[in-house]
Amino acid sequence: MKHETAYRGSILLAVLFSGLIASGQKTARESIGVSFSGQAIGWNTINPAAPFQTELGLRYIPKLSFRVPAKGFKVDGEFSANTWLSGRWQQGDSLHTKAQLSPYRMWIRFSWDQFELRAGLQKINFGSATMFRPLMWFDRIDPRDPLQLTDGVYGMLARYYFLNNANIWLWGLWGEEKTKGWEQLPTKKNSIEYGGRLQLPLHTGELAATYHHRTAAPGGLLPDSLAGKAAYPENRIALDAKIDLAFGLWAEAALVHQDLDFSALQYKMMMNVGMDYTLGLGNGIRLMAEFFRYHLGKRAFDSAQESSFGLLSLSYPLNIVHSITGMVFYDFRNRNTYRFVNWSMALDRWNFYVMAFWNPDSYTLYNADLQTSLYGGWGFQLMAVFTH
Say yes or no to pLDDT of 16 above 60. no
Domain count along the chain:
1
In a domain, 22, yes or no: no
Q: What is the per-residue pLDDT for 177?
A: 87
In a domain, 268, yes or no: yes
Weakest mean pLDDT among 135-139, 306-310, 373-377: 373-377
In a domain, 6, yes or no: no
HEC per residue, 234-278: EEEEEEEEEEECCCEEEEEEEEEEECCCCCCCCEEEEEEEEEEEE
**Parallel, antiparallel or unpaired: strands 73-90 and 378-387:** unpaired
Say yes or no to pLDDT of 28 above 60. no
Contacts with 113 (C-beta within 8 Å, 6 or more apart), sequence order: none
Q: Which of 115, 114, 83, 80 is nearest to 98 (CA)?
A: 83
Q: Sign of dihedral through CA atoms 14, 20, 23, 26?
A: negative
In a domain, 220, yes or no: yes
Q: Is the distance from CB of 334 to CB of 363 less than 8 angstroms? A: no
Q: Is the distance from CB of 379 to CB of 29 less than 8 angstroms? A: no
In a domain, 67, yes or no: yes
Answer left, alpha or beta for residue 159, where phi above 0 means left and psi between -120 and 50 means alpha: beta
Q: What is the per-residue pLDDT for 368?
A: 56
Identify the domain containing residue 216 by its residue range.
Answer: 33-387
pLDDT tens, residue by residue, 328-372: 999 999 999 999 999 999 999 999 999 999 999 877 665 555 445
Section 75-82 average pLDDT: 97
Q: What is the per-residue pLDDT for 36?
A: 97
In a domain, 295, yes or no: yes
In a domain, 61, yes or no: yes
Q: What is the per-residue pLDDT for 5?
A: 52
pLDDT class of 225 with cuts at 50, 70, 90: low
pLDDT class of 193 with cuts at 50, 70, 90: very high
What CATH code is carried by the domain that includes residue 151?
Answer: 2.40.160.100
- Average pLDDT score, the chain: 89
pLDDT class of 10 with cuts at 50, 70, 90: low
Say yes or no to pLDDT of 198 above 60. yes
Q: What is the per-residue pLDDT for 370?
A: 46
pLDDT tens, residue by residue, 85-134: 999 999 989 899 999 999 999 999 999 999 999 999 999 999 989 889 99
Section 199-211 average pLDDT: 96
pLDDT class of 29 with cuts at 50, 70, 90: very low
Q: What percent of the chain has pLDDT over 70?
A: 87
Q: What is the per-residue pLDDT for 12?
A: 52
Q: What is the per-residue pLDDT for 258?
A: 93
Section 264-283 average pLDDT: 95
- Residue type (1 letter), 161: Y
Gap between the Cα atoms of 331 and 364, Å rounded: 9
Q: What is the per-residue pLDDT for 70?
A: 79
In a domain, 21, yes or no: no
My answer on whether omega of the bond before 51 falls inside 30° of 0, hence cis, is yes
pLDDT tens, residue by residue, 154-165: 999 999 999 999
- Residue type (1 letter), 327: M
Q: Which of 216, 192, 200 is nearest to 166 (CA)?
A: 200
Q: What percent of the chain has pLDDT over 90?
A: 73
Q: What is the per-residue pLDDT for 219?
A: 75
